[in-house]
Amino acid sequence: MCNNQEGRTAIITGSARGIGKAIALKLASRKINIAVVDVLLEDAQKTADELSSLGITSRAYKADISNFTETESLIKKIFEDFGKIDILVNNAGITRDNLIIKMTEEDWDKVININLKGVFNCIKCVSRILMKNRWGRIINISSVVGVMGNAGQLNYSASKAGVIGMTKSAAKELASRNITCNAIAPGFIKTAMTDKLPEIERQRLESMIPLKKLGEPEDIANATAFLASDEASYITGQVLLVDGGMVM
């Protein structure tokens, strides 16, 4: 696989830390310039500085992607700063877990607005630029719970299932302009959230996974880098499960 995509520019939402940051580091290693988008501007700037030290151009942006007007302004600003946009990675997402009888309307709306509407906003605002390029890669980070569901995550599961449907529809609409759109569905990945789990709960999760271990953020980053590359030019509308075999 060619490891150099010098001159291309990627937008990665939710990339100040965690999986998003791992994706940013991976793409930067392939000489892709990175727009780091996050609600945490200070953390986003630290990540952008780290990426810039790798010899690429990187800038930090604060935005609420659930707001269409704000997203539209964000994409316009990134395009002005970099002069082009080639790759969009929709990684930003939140959880507000609870059983359905206890889940509030606010919990539902917040998750749907960021995890689902936010992806729509970003795709819509970037698509026209990619269409003019006649080349583009859109990678949406979904989840295995969008495929199999999960008790206590009605809102999150719905949002991630919606992302899969959106991915397939966008893939069909944009294919004629040489733009691919795919989704990655991570399983249980080591993050700050899983680090806080009691050991017995961690062991329970690992027992559900055929490979008997949690994934690393780099596993998602590697899959993203492949789908963003020229080698994945004949893959579109697909959902790649990166879950250690949990869902088959």
pLDDT in tens, 159-176: 999 999 999 999 999 999
All domains of the chain in start order, with CATH: 9-190+217-241 (3.40.50.720)
- 125-144: b (≥16 Cβ within 10 Å) or e: bbbebbbeeebbbbbbbbbb
d(CA 157, CA 119): 15
What are the tokens at 246?
């949990």
29-51 confidence digits (pLDDT tens): 999 999 999 999 999 999 999 99
CA atoms in the 13 A half-sphere facing the CB of 63:
29
41-87 confidence digits (pLDDT tens): 999 999 999 999 999 999 999 999 999 999 999 999 999 999 999 99
> What's the chain's average pLDDT?
96
pTM score above 0.85:
yes
Contact present, 171 and 237 (Cβ < 8 Å)? yes
d(CA 206, CA 188): 8
199-236 confidence digits (pLDDT tens): 998 899 899 999 999 999 999 999 999 999 999 999 99
> Which residue among 63, 156, 159, 246 is the active-site one?
156
Residue 1 has pLDDT above 50, yes or no: no
* Biggest alpha carbon–alpha carbon distance for the chain: 52
Active site residue 234: no
Contact present, 28 and 34 (Cβ < 8 Å)? yes
